[in-house]
Amino acid sequence: MKDYLREEIEKKRKELFEITKSVSLTSRLALQYSEELDLLLNQYDSIVSHDMQQIEKTG
């Protein structure tokens, strides 16, 4: 799952970068892409945090 999310994060970052070449960073579309990227990053962070907690419990 982490690998999948990392790939999706990279794709969304690239999409956001590309879209901001043609529209303002504050445009509705750029904000939508940014929010989608935030969601992916939060999901990834949640998984990593959970993994770290498991390591601490067993370590």
pLDDT in tens, 8-25: 999 999 999 999 999 998
Q: Which DSSP state fits 1?
A: -
Predicted TM-score (pTM) of this structure: 0.88
Is domain 2-58 given the CATH code 4.10.280.10 in the classification?
A: yes
Of all residues in the chain, the percent with pLDDT exceeding 90 is 86
Q: How far apart are CA 23 and CA 33, in angstroms?
A: 12
Domain ranges of the chain: 2-58
SS3 for 10-59 is: HHHHHHHHHHHHHCCCCCHHHHHHHHHHHHHHHHHHHHHHHHHHHHHHHC
Evaluate if residue 59 carries a pLDDT over 90: no
What average pLDDT does range 23-50 have in this prediction?
96
**pLDDT score at 58:** 87
- Averaged confidence pLDDT in the chain: 95
